């Protein structure tokens, strides 16, 4: 017989009936007496036995509260422990339910909707990881929808209770098996890679209507469980190829091959959002036909799951100081491409670039490559070490064809990168990618040579214009 849990007594709150109930806790509707504000209170069923456990929970709750300002993280108002030792968190009331409710009501969601919410949630996760906070239990039920339709990650602080007693059996018993990363079943410590997997599994489920892997749980045999955890994930049949690539990279069974940073996943999804500026349409209609055909039939995925190239028309306010120029005058007016500088070896190794950094690269069909400029002092994925002008016809070329141009092959190299690396730093083994652009030079394309470490992300700016 189902028994409705009785709300505990919490000073300053008047608790009403339960809003929802899970295996380890109950969420109650409550009223903050002093502020006359409706809130949600999540009360865990388990009792924290020691002062150490209570202190640890409160530390996690305080850390979670630091994320409350993010628009896609549920605001935490208070936390504490009831008189009988059960931890609780007071948080904003999200009247739209959870994404598990949305999935049950609507079934699979349109891919453009999943891309939009995925980019926002990945940004929230990236911010959490940046300040050292792991979620540990991302799943549709832990993503809430507020009264305005915004999706929000919930349960950051409370997730830590799952292993509060440092017992791996507690963690495995409490996990959400269909969304947990494979390494968790081997009692691996919680990690950012595990959070990335869980978010990708959630987004995949929303877009496909089915979970990425069919995990037998409770497991009847170890062999069966291992086989399921290692099984390949099928692409979503009618999803954009770039969305499938982003999700499948983040769902790699081997954590060392998985998307390594939530910011990378955010940038990949962000590049697929329809609110992005449209590519410039050439006067030659053949290019438009070729782009359409390539998007439909010939997607090319580059560089360990990341995408790279943008001939997209971007903000040109950096250029043409002193008034507009005619198209015939623009190439002659600029001796060097925007954002670059002439240096002693420019004739041989291209122009120098310093303090030019970008987020993740997004490639659609090898003809539309985008990258978001970022401050090198902030988190970033790529840094530019060299650059060069491109021939005008490069506007109608694929990224692969541009990379094969002699002027590009000669400068986007490990040797040039090493020569441009500041003293005391090392870029040995860094990956190299190209980024064509027309930003600030609408009539003449140019190119950045980008690089990043094989693992992790660059720190600060390591290239010089000397």
Active site residues: 136
Query: How many Cβ atoms from other residues are within 10 Å of residue 419's Cβ?
Result: 18
Q: Is the omega angle on the peptide bond into residue 218 within 30 degrees of 0, that is, cis?
A: yes
Phi-psi region of 149 (alpha: psi -120 to 50; beta: other; left: phi over 0): left
CB 366 within 8 A of CB 373: no
- Is 348 within any annotated ligand binding site? no
Name every residue whose Cβ is closer than 8 Å to that of residue 464 and which is 6 or more positions away in sequence: 352, 354, 420, 421, 422
- Give me 193's structure tokens: 């890679």
DSSP class of residue 241 equals: H
- Give the span between the Cα atoms of 162 and 170, in whole angstroms: 6
Q: Is 461 helix (H, G, I), strand (E, B) or coil?
A: coil
Query: What's CA 172's distance to the chain center, in Å?
Result: 25
Bridge partners, residue 368, by sequence: 364
For residue 105, give the H/E element and its range: helix 99-106
Name every residue whose Cβ is closer than 8 Å to that of residue 127 and which is 6 or more positions away in sequence: 67, 70, 73
CB 93 within 8 A of CB 100: no
Query: How many Cβ atoms from other residues are within 10 Å of residue 431's Cβ?
Result: 13
Is the C-alpha dihedral spanning 95, 29, 120, 252 positive or negative? negative
CB 17 within 8 A of CB 4: yes
Bridge partners, residue 30, by sequence: 15, 39
Q: How far apart are the first and last CA of the chain?
A: 76
Bridge partners, residue 449, by sequence: 386, 434
Residues at the annotated binding site for ATP? 42
């Amino acid at each position: 017989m189902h028994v409705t849990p009785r709300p505990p007594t919490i000073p300053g709150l008047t608790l009403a009936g339960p809003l929802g109930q899970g295996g380890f806790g109950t969420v109650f509707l409550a009223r903050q007496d002093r502020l006359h504000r409706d809130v949600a209170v999540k009360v865990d069923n388990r009792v924290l036995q020691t002062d150490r456990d209570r202190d640890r929970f409160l530390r996690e709750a305080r850390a979670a509260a630091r994320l409350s300002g993010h628009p896609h993280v549920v605001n935490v108002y208070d936390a504490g422990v009831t008189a009988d030792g059960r931890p609780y968190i007071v948080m904003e009331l999200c009247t739209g339910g959870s994404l598990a409710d949305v999935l049950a009501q609507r079934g699979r969601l349109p891919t453009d909707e999943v891309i939009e919410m995925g980019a926002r949630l990945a940004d929230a996760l990236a911010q959490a990881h940046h300040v050292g906070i792991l979620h540990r239990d991302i799943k549709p039920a832990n993503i809430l929808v507020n009264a305005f339709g915004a999706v929000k990650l919930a349960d950051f602080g409370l997730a830590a209770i799952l292993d509060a007693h440092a017992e791996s059996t507690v963690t495995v018993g409490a996990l959400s098996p269909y969304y947990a990363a494979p390494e968790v079943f081997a009692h691996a410590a919680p990690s950012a890679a595990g959070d990335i997997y869980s978010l990708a599994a959630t987004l995949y489920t929303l877009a496909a209507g089915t979970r990425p892997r069919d995990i037998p749980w409770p497991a009847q045999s170890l062999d069966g469980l291992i086989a399921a955890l290692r099984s390949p994930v099928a692409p979503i049949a009618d999803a954009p190829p770039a969305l499938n690539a982003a999700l499948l990279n983040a769902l790699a069974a081997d954590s060392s091959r998985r998307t390594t940073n939530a910011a990378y996943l955010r940038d990949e999804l962000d590049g697929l959002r329809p609110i992005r500026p449209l590519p410039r349409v050439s006067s030659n209609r053949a290019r438009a036909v070729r782009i359409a055909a390539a998007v439909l039939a010939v997607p090319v995925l580059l560089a360990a799951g990341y995408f790279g190239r943008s001939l997209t028309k971007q903000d040109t306010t950096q250029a043409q100081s002193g008034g507009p120029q005619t198209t015939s005058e623009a190439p002659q007016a600029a001796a060097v491409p925007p954002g670059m500088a002439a240096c002693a070896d420019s004739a041989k190794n291209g122009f120098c670039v310093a303090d030019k950094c970008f987020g993740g690269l997004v490639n659609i069909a090898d003809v539309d490559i985008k990258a978001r400029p970022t401050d090198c002092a902030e988190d970033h994925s790529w840094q530019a070490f060299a650059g060069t002008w491109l021939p005008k016809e490069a506007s109608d070329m694929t990224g692969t064809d541009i990379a094969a141009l002699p002027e590009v092959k000669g400068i986007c190299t490990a040797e040039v990168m090493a020569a441009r690396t500041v003293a005391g730093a090392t870029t040995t083994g860094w990956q190299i990618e190209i980024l064509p652009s027309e930003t600030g030079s609408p009539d003449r394309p140019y190119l950045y040579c980008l690089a990043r470490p094989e693992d992790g992300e660059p720190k600060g700016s390591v290239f010089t214009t000397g």
